[in-house]
Amino acid sequence: MPGVPYVRGWTQARHSAGLLASQLTDLGLESDFPGLAADVNVFGDGLVRLGTIRPEAAQLLAELIAVGLAAEVADATATACSSDPHQQASAA
């Protein structure tokens, strides 16, 4: 589409796809996401395409996201409790 700035969206998508690819490689899962690629839509918005993946790969990705979110919540709760003087007093 003429006049749509695709480069910015594609650059953001390429960066994000690269970060995801790096994490998947670190976990030994790069072969489960062979279609991982950066793309843009007709409005120039960046997209990260996972491609067609096996159901087991989708389930594993969902589990990894859930574990990561649980760890973030636990960390945020621990940080909040350690900085709240009322929590420290009641724990003692």
- Whole-prediction pTM value? 0.73
The predicted structure's pLDDT at residue 92: 52
Q: Which residues are registered as beta bridge partners of 3?
A: none
Q: Which two tokens stand for residue 17?
A: 């796809």
Q: Provide the b/e sequence for 38-77 (b: ≥16 CB within 10 Å).
A: bebeeeeebebebeebeeebeeebeeeeeeeeeeeeeeee
pLDDT for 33-91, tens place per residue?
A: 999 999 999 999 999 999 999 999 999 999 999 999 999 999 888 888 877 666 555 55
